Chain A
Amino acid sequence: MSDTAASDDGTAAVDAEKVRHVAELARVRLADDEVDEFAAQFGDILEYFEALDEVPEIEREEELVNVMRPDEIEDGLSQTEALANAEETEDGFFVGPKVS
């Protein structure tokens, strides 16, 4: 996508093709009228986000530590519970759409 990066004048024009491309990456199908609506709205929103260019580079001092627990077996969901919300199951497995 770097070939369609924001243009040099700093505006973030968004066309329908770009919206369709991102929708494909995100696995969300869009209707044609939704594509046009999003293109206009994304233009406004991304233009607003441009102000982030003014933010100075900051040294990020994160005081973070990892939280670990002993690797011991605990009770989890039963197979029946785990499958209870699936649209389709077979022999104790989830059934997904065909792969290709």
Chain B
Amino acid sequence: MAAEINAFVTEKTIEGDADADGPLADATVAVKDNISTAGIRTTCGSEMLADYVPPYSATVVDRLTDAGATVVGKTNMDEFGMGTTTETSAFGPTRNPADTDRVPGGSSGGSAAAVAAGEADIALGSDTGGSVRCPAAFCGVVGIKPTYGLVSRYGLIAYANSLEQIGPIAGTVEEAAAALDVIAGDDPNDGTTRDPRQVEGADPDASYAAAADGDVEGLTVGVATELFEGADERVVETVEAAIADLEAQGAETTEISLPSVDHAVQAYYVIAMAEASSNLARFDGVRYGHRSESDGNWNESFAETREEEFGAEVKRRILLGTYALSAGYHDKYYEKAQDARAWVRRDFEDAFEDVDVIASPTMPVLPFELGESLDDPLRMYLADANTTPVNLANLPAISVPAGEADGLPVGLQLVGSKFDEATIVRAASAVEDR
């Protein structure tokens, strides 16, 4: 099973603190291979970094091992996080444990597959436009994308800084929430982090794991019509049944509209590609990473190195990002995408005046068959319709199994207001045992 799934790029261990107690003592954790681990290679799923060994560990890795968790390996991913299927990895595709002819979703596909296949208790992924929630939905496990700034990105190799957060994946809502308890909190090495206890109205002793009590009596669930339009009927039916289950347990549901989200995928890709084109400029083959054998000058050597070591999807995004930022196009694409981002954020803020959580399918489709979307990048991008708005709005969201359709897992996405992870954890815990 393990070899067939290909969840790991590198299987090496970092022992957790043996004296630690708490919910993660003795837990095993799989870490996405774009999160730095001191002394263990961190490849980002790319030839470019196939031999890169970080001299330090990410803050989240130190926090997990300090809490007693043992790292069991580095998980496969779409190259630099750029993909929705974990097929763009230089280390071969990961397969979905629920159906090995299908993709596990992406980009944190190895992390979700490792948990679903029982190869780790919990896993860390990173979510820039859905990369924790999508594979959690496709593999039938739980994934949390935290509020921007709740979890340190120190040691996360950047793809699109303004959008991404590290988040936990686990078999149950409570386990994922317990991992979030450990990794959340401000970090002097990441100036964008906030201490959640300092947020207005926060309970300083709050525990996300304790919020997994299944009590949804009086909870108001907004059902966003735009996020159901165009989704596979089998997905819609399964998700609607899960929402009805919340109602049966005392939650109230109300239809809401988020007109801006029809432009979220475009805005997300323009912003993410623009940030990627800048971030990935650091891979010049000089300080780290492979360098091509080139007789050319600096520019030629740089271009040849990047030709050889980057895969097609990474090149596409670097080029499109460069294009969107170039003279004559900046206002047309990048500025308009920032307007769309502000619009999405405002839409959600308005909605949360009336509801506690917003429910939708995590993914509008069932897991793709392997190879199905590789030659059609736009088709792959469109699958991110329901996850990208959350990153644009900096909000927390969870994907929890809603049931199965045609034997394949379907995820329910619950979005919360800023730093209100407790409420989405509570709501998700009420439906996870359907």
A69–B188 CB distance below 8 A = yes
A-side interface mostly: loop
A45 / chain B contacts, CB cutoff of 8 Å: 269, 320, 377-378, 381
Known: A1-B327, A85-B53. A58 touches B296 (CB 8 A): no
Contact in complex: A6, B322 (CB < 8 Å): no
Chain B at the A interface: mostly helix, strand, loop or mixed? helix
Interface residues on A, range: 35 or more
CB of A22 to closest CB in B, whole Å:
5
B310 at the interface (CB under 8 A from A): yes
Q: How far is the CA of A22 from the CA of B315 in the complex (A)?
A: 11
Is A5 interfacial (CB 8 A cutoff)? Answer: yes
Q: Which of B173-181, B233-241, B328-336 contacts A (4 or more CB under 8 A)?
A: B328-336
Residues of chain B within 8 A (CB-CB) of A2 are 327-328
How many chain B residues touch A (CB < 8 A): the figure is 64
Give the CA-CA distance A60 to B327 in the complex, in Å. Answer: 23
Distance in angstroms between the alpha carbons of A24 and B318 in the assembled complex: 11
Most B CB within 10 A of own CB, among A28, A30, A96, A100: A28
CB distance from B188 to the nearest CB of A (A): 7
Interface membership of B2, Cβ < 8 A? no
Proximity string of chain B (250-282) to chain A, C-beta cutoff 8 Å, 1 when within and 0 when not: 000000000010110011011000000100010
List chain A positions with a Cβ less than 8 A from chain B.
1-6, 19, 22-31, 34, 38, 41-42, 44-46, 48-49, 51-61, 67, 69, 77, 81-82, 84-88, 94-100
Task: Give the interface of B toward A (CB within 8 A).
Answer: 51-53, 55-56, 188, 191-192, 260, 262-263, 266-267, 269-270, 277, 281, 284-291, 294, 296-304, 306-307, 310, 312, 315-316, 318-320, 322-324, 326-329, 332-333, 336-340, 342-343, 346, 377-378, 381
